[in-house]
Chains A and B, each alone.
Chain A
Amino acid sequence: MLVLARRINERIIIGDNIYVSVVDIKGDQVKLGIDAPAQIKVYRQEVYDAIQEENRKAARSQGTLPAFDSLFEKGGKDRADSPETEKHNT
């Protein structure tokens, strides 16, 4: 990994048109300004990680689904105990 030391307001250039500048430093937090063309995607790594993790959890959901309306019955047990292949008549 390339490691560069920068001060506030100093920039680095990635490729021909991506600029990263150090806007502010407070304690252990660094504020970066990123100037990049619209087609370049810039996300916080945590956002990516959170979506990946949620997808893994979603994929572990059971193969059964509740009847949507039953979800709103107060105190009622939802009717999701039978497999998807058995159609509910609600």
Chain B
Amino acid sequence: MRIRSKPFGEIDIDERQRIFFPFGILGFEHLKEYALMDASQPPFFWLQSLDVPDIAFILIDPHVFRPDYEVKVVPSDLSDIAVQSNDELIVFSIVTVPDDHRLMTANLQGPVLINRDKRLGRQSISLDPRWQVRHFIVEELASIKG
């Protein structure tokens, strides 16, 4: 299917890239249909709204810079997207990119959970106080690399 996207303009996506967020994303509760796309620059991804082309979120696998990241959320957040085993669960963090890209942050407190088989998604709220709304990706990655 052909969609309009923020990063790529008009682009064809596969049906399998479509993810339904029954509750939307916090602050964007009215937008429920998204496409998950690889960014040109790995390890980033785009979560593109199919309703509003100008709304797209940059995602990253939090383990890229926090290998110790664990998802601790209320069980109903997982059952909302029909997750029965960890194999079907993919976890992303939403990235905020300011003008100085090196100060980009990832939101580990509000992980985006996706059931890859059923293509359902949900933003959850971490119950683990270690994870905050703004983690500096470059700084934290530098610290694990030593």
Contacts and interface: CB of A to CB of B under 8 A. Distances in A.
B41 interface: yes
B97 A61 contact: yes
B90 interface: no
Given A51-B123, A71-B138, A72-B138, A63 B44 contact: no
The dominant DSSP class at the A interface is loop
B76 A39 contact: yes
B94 A55 contact: yes
By size class, the interface of chain A is: 20 to 34
Interface string A13-33: 000000000000000000000
A47 interface: yes
Contacts of A39: 74-76
The dominant DSSP class at the B interface is mixed
A5 interface: no
A89 to B, nearest CB: 11
B76 A41 contact: yes
A56 to B, nearest CB: 5
14 contacts: A38-B74, A39-B75, A54-B107, A55-B28, A55-B57, A58-B57, A59-B56, A61-B97, A61-B98, A66-B41, A68-B41, A83-B7, A85-B9, A87-B40
